[in-house]
Amino acid sequence: MTVATDIARPRRSLSFGAGALLLGLCFAAACAAPFVLNGYGLYVLTLTGVFALVALGLNLLTGYAGQISLCHAAFFGVGAYATAILTQKAGVPYLLSILAGALFTAAVGAIVAVPAMRLRSLYLAIATLGFGVVLQKIIFEWRSLTNGGGGLALSPPAIAGYELGASGLYFLTLAFVMLGLWGAWNVSRGRTGRALLIVKESEIAAGALGIPAARFKVIAFAISAFYAAVGGGLFAYLVRYIHPENFSVGLSIAFLSMVVIGGLGTIGGSIVGAAFYVIIPELLRGIKDAPGLVFGLLLVIVMVLMPQGLWGLVRRLGRRT
């Protein structure tokens, strides 16, 4: 099989049955995890889930619609702060706060998309970079609400009076990841997903087909920000101490790397990418002084040997069996 056909027919590589089996196995393993792992392992796994949600959203924007965003850490932060403030200061129930925070952040995302309607590639990246810095600065300066550089310490999360422990939060995250997967799958297979793919290829072609590129870009930004904010709402209560400096450009670049390492434009890739990004550095802890170096080299190796990302590899293996 040539490379050309490989790219043209990526979707047929895993049969539906094999895909469902894989998903089922992963889900079963994920459900069993809290009974096997200690608190440390569970924390790392929950963090993976949180980042996977953000990556799923960013993948819709970058993988499907071809728009680069360097402000996803800020969306993540707005979601985290909105959820934290709603629950701690306004006494809104946790789940409702996550939803409200995510809707608010989606609106912010739609506003970011306004310059995105005119900009592309590097220019868009720089504009979103600026927006991320502005959002971070607002969180920092709005001390009365966010406590600025003092950070915000949170008490344990509760749902309907029942305090969520580490396992509870893990299962909540898992539920959101499943919802997120389902949502991303639906968007990507539906009219919006097809429109986004055409916008990515050529906005002129999209216009000729009667697809309003600007509108779909706004939609992509809003959905993507929604995902990031849900992740943020979970993150806030996972670490229970949020600080404006958590949400810097470095994290935005990390999110982008997750999507690219996992495989641009693939839903499974977002999950695998997030797992790679969170779990590999933990496994490299044993190497004294050099974990950063080894991790950096691994990134290069993955990109050179697997241009379609880790998910591309999973697929190729799946096809061979």
Partner 1 sequence: MIRELMKATTRRNVLAAVIAMVAFPAAAQEPIKVGMSGPFSGGLSLLGQSVRDGVEVAFGEINDAGGVNGRKLQFIAEDDGYEPMRTIASARKLVEQDKVAALLAVTGTAPSAALLPFVTESKTPLLFPYAFAHALTTPTNRDVFTTLPEVRVQMRVLANYILKELKQTKIAAIYQNDDFGQDAVAGLEERFGKANVPLVKLPFDRGTTNFSGVVAQAKAAGVEHVVFLGIPKDAALVMREANNLGWKPQFSGHNALGDPQTFQLAGPLAEGAIAIAVMEPLDSDKPAVKAFLAAQKKYKPNTKPTTYSMHGYQSGKLFAEIVKRSGGKTDEASIVAALEGMKNYDTGLMAPLTFSATQHAGALSGAIMKAQGGKWKIISDWLSAD
Of 209-217, 221-229, 237-245, 309-317, the window that binds partner 1 (rule: CB under 8 A) is 237-245
Of 53-61, 123-131, 195-203, 231-239, the window that binds partner 1 (rule: CB under 8 A) is 231-239
The residue from 33, 44, 92, 299 that contacts partner 1 (CB under 8 A) is: 44
Q: Does 38 bind partner 1 (CB under 8 A)?
A: yes
The residue from 245, 249, 257, 313 that contacts partner 1 (CB under 8 A) is: 245
Q: Does 169 bind partner 1 (CB under 8 A)?
A: no
- DSSP readout, 197-229? HHHHH-HHHHHHTT--HHHHHHHHHHHHHHHHH
8 A C-beta contact, residue 84 and residue 236: yes
8 A C-beta contact, residue 256 and residue 30: no
Q: Does 252 bind partner 1 (CB under 8 A)?
A: no
Q: Which is nearer to partner 1, 168 or 318 (CB)?
A: 168
215's tokens: 């509108």
- Distance of CA 316 to CAs 18, 50, 59, 190, 306, Å? 13, 27, 21, 25, 11
Of 114-122, 179-187, 220-228, 287-295, the window that binds partner 1 (rule: CB under 8 A) is 287-295
The residue from 24, 130, 150, 307 that contacts partner 1 (CB under 8 A) is: 150
Q: C-alpha angle with apex 174: 164 to 170, nearest 5 degrees?
A: 30
Of 92-100, 195-203, 232-240, 257-265, the window that binds partner 1 (rule: CB under 8 A) is 232-240
Q: Does 292 bind partner 1 (CB under 8 A)?
A: yes
The residue from 19, 22, 103, 140 that contacts partner 1 (CB under 8 A) is: 140
Of 24-32, 106-114, 151-159, 255-263, the window that binds partner 1 (rule: CB under 8 A) is 151-159
The residue from 4, 5, 289, 300 that contacts partner 1 (CB under 8 A) is: 289
Amino acid making up residue 22:
L
Q: How far is the CB of 290 from partner 1 (least distance, A)?
A: 9
H or E element at residue 162: strand 162-163
- Distance of CA 185 to CAs 112, 131, 189, 265, Å? 24, 28, 6, 11
Q: Does 246 bind partner 1 (CB under 8 A)?
A: yes
Amino acid making up residue 135:
L
Q: How many CB atoms lie within 10 A of CB 109?
A: 32
Q: Does 282 bind partner 1 (CB under 8 A)?
A: yes
Query: Minimal CA–CA distance to 78: which of 201, 242, 199, 195?
Result: 242
Q: Which is nearer to partner 1, 168 or 291 (CB)?
A: 291
- CA 21/CA 18 separation, integer angstroms: 5
Binding site for partner 1 (CB under 8 A): 38-40, 43-44, 47, 140, 148-151, 153-154, 156, 235, 238-241, 243, 245-246, 281-282, 285, 289, 291-292
